[in-house]
């Protein structure tokens, strides 16, 4: 996949854009007409004003911006958003403020980043048993602290 088709749903929307030519993610911007308060410990859903057409076998993943997360505690409310290839609606970004101070999202502000990744569309098959491995059913922490 070397093309992402993007449709502006609002005239003031900004197209996703990479900060540098080799950035993995393209910044998603808040499509707002006025500032939006994100209270401390609160959540908001922010429109981007864009919809995308993702090729089959691929998906869009909405990740937080590291600066927002580290400096302000602003991260995606669902950890990572997933945009399926057949979705054609507006990309909305749920954000949560994990910090102790209110944060104001400005119109046009970069709020998240969109990364396109290939996905395996495996057929789901129910079985009676799974193959054995050295780890087996040992879960969290079973491989040590290193």
CATH superfamily of 24-118: Deoxyuridine triphosphatase (dUTPase) (2.70.40.10)
Please tell me whether residue 83 adopts helix, strand or coil conformation: strand
Per-residue pLDDT of the chain in tens (146 residues, 90 and over written 9): 678 999 999 999 999 999 999 999 999 999 999 999 999 999 999 999 999 999 999 999 999 998 999 999 999 999 999 999 999 999 999 999 999 999 999 999 999 999 999 999 999 999 999 999 988 888 777 677 66
Please tell me whether residue 52 adopts helix, strand or coil conformation: strand
Q: How far apart are CA 58 and CA 39, in angstroms?
A: 34
Count Cα atoms within 13 angstroms, Cβ side, for 90: 16
The pLDDT assigned to 135 comes to 85
> Is 117 within 8 Å of 69 (Cβ atoms)?
no
The pLDDT assigned to 84 comes to 97
Q: How far apart are CA 45 and CA 92, in angstroms?
A: 6
> Is 97 within 8 Å of 37 (Cβ atoms)?
no
The pLDDT assigned to 120 comes to 94
Segments making up each domain of the chain, as ranges: 24-118
> Is 59 within 8 Å of 119 (Cβ atoms)?
yes
3-state helix, strand, coil in the chain (%, to 5): 5, 35, 60
């Amino acid at each position: 996949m070397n093309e992402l088709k993007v449709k502006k749903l609002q005239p003031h929307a900004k197209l996703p854009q990479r900060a540098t030519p080799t950035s993995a993610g393209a910044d998603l911007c808040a499509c707002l007409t006025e500032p939006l308060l994100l209270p401390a410990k609160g959540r908001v859903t922010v429109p981007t004003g864009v919809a995308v057409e993702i090729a089959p076998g691929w998906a869009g993943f909405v990740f937080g911006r590291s600066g927002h997360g580290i400096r302000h505690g602003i991260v995606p409310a669902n950890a990572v958003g997933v945009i399926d290839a057949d979705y054609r609606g507006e990309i909305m970004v749920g954000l949560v403020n994990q910090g102790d101070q209110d944060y104001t999202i400005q119109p046009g502000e970069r709020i998240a980043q969109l990364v396109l990744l290939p996905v395996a569309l495996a057929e789901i098959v129910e079985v009676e048993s799974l193959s054995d491995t050295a780890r087996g059913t040992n879960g969290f922490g079973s491989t040590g602290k290193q």
